[in-house]
């Protein structure tokens, strides 16, 4: 059985849409839905049980963030396979069955992710590469990757350089859809997902930790879902979001490489790139 864990925080309508899409599109797979409400103020979370009596509802007394909220759900999960699913996603095909079939074919698997699209059909950057000095330089002078054959460029750079049009082992995956064996948590510190980030960057950190265990993270293009992924339209909020992600990227690099010379050089390149990016966005937003 698959235990699907969804975090809700003041997103009643899209969370309801997400749950309904699972029910409408899932066949031939045993699953349970565990909804963790992170102390929403928008609406009483009990309404979800009125609409979907079959789900498990966990009401957190406080907003614990993404990682801790998922761990609350995992504690109540009966399935041997866990799916962390963002509330701002929805299925329009039998995603669970297709993803599970591929998942069961893979050995030594950590996370499995699938193709994600915006509502307009544009493909999102699901499969990601760990940042490095080399990656940052190639991204800065991006005409160089585009001189390479597409498949070489896609495997080398991943992210925005990859169209999501073939299966690929990757370093980490967008956390809006993460399928994994519950048993691998026993090998992680505290036997749970790392909670050091309140929000943003957890998927990157977790991907690194699973790779350290010798597991693979895998992008599967054989099925897809819609990920709304609506960022705030307020300039100040978007700038704060970019700054949070930027700081977490530096934290993860320090975890991966330590605080020595490599980190210093990477930090210099990355800080200049991201600060320029944030500054430009603030000017034209």
Q: In a structure prediction context, what are the per-residue pLDDT tens digits for the chain, which is 285 residues long?
A: 999 999 999 999 999 999 999 999 999 999 999 999 999 999 999 999 999 999 999 999 999 999 999 999 999 999 999 999 999 999 999 999 999 999 999 999 999 999 999 999 999 999 999 999 999 999 989 999 999 999 999 999 999 999 999 999 999 999 999 999 999 999 998 899 999 988 888 999 999 999 999 999 999 999 999 999 864 445 566 667 777 888 899 999 999 999 999 999 999 999 888 777 666 666 655
pLDDT of residue 231: 47
Q: Alpha-carbon distance 7 to 76, whole Å? A: 14
- Topology (CATH level 3) of domain 2-126+164-227: Spore Coat Polysaccharide Biosynthesis Protein SpsA; Chain A (3.90.550)
Q: Alpha-carbon distance 8 to 51, whole Å? A: 15
pLDDT of residue 278: 66
> For residues 136 and 277, is the Cβ–Cβ distance under 8 A?
no
Q: Alpha-carbon distance 21 to 145, whole Å? A: 38
Q: Alpha-carbon distance 188 to 2, whole Å? A: 20
pLDDT of residue 237: 67
Residue 126 burial by CB count (10 A; 0-12/13-18/19+): exposed, middle or buried? buried
> For residues 181 and 175, is the Cβ–Cβ distance under 8 A?
no
Q: Alpha-carbon distance 136 to 152, whole Å? A: 17
Q: Alpha-carbon distance 64 to 276, whole Å? A: 32
């Amino acid at each position: 059985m698959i235990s699907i864990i969804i975090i809700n925080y003041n997103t009643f309508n899209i969370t309801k849409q997400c749950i309904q899409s699972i029910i409408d599109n899932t066949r031939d797979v045993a699953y349970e839905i565990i909804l963790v409400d992170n102390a929403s103020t928008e609406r009483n979370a009990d309404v979800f049980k009125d609409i979907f009596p079959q789900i498990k509802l966990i009401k957190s007394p406080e907003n614990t963030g993404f990682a801790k909220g998922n761990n609350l759900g995992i504690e109540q999960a009966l399935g041997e396979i866990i799916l962390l699913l963002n509330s701002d996603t929805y299925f329009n095909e039998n995603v669970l069955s297709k993803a599970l079939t591929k998942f069961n074919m893979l050995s030594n698997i950590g996370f499995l992710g699938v193709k994600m699209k915006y509502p307009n059909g544009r493909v999102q950057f699901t499969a990601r590469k760990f940042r490095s000095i080399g990656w940052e330089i190639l991204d800065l002078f991006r005409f160089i990757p585009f001189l390479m054959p597409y498949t070489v460029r896609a495997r080398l750079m991943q992210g925005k350089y990859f169209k999501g049009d073939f299966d690929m082992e990757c370093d980490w995956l967008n956390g809006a859809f993460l399928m994994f064996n519950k048993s691998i948590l026993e090998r992680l510190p505290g036997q749970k997902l790392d909670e050091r980030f309140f929000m943003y960057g957890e998927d990157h950190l977790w991907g690194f930790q699973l790779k350290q265990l010798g597991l693979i993270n895998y992008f599967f293009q054989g099925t897809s879902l819609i990920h709304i992924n609506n960022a705030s339209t307020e300039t100040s909020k978007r700038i704060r979001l970019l700054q949070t992600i930027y700081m977490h990227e530096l934290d993860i690099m320090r975890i991966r490489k330590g605080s020595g010379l490599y980190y210093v050089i990477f930090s210099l390149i990355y800080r200049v790139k991201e600060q320029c990016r944030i500054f430009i966005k603030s000017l034209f937003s």
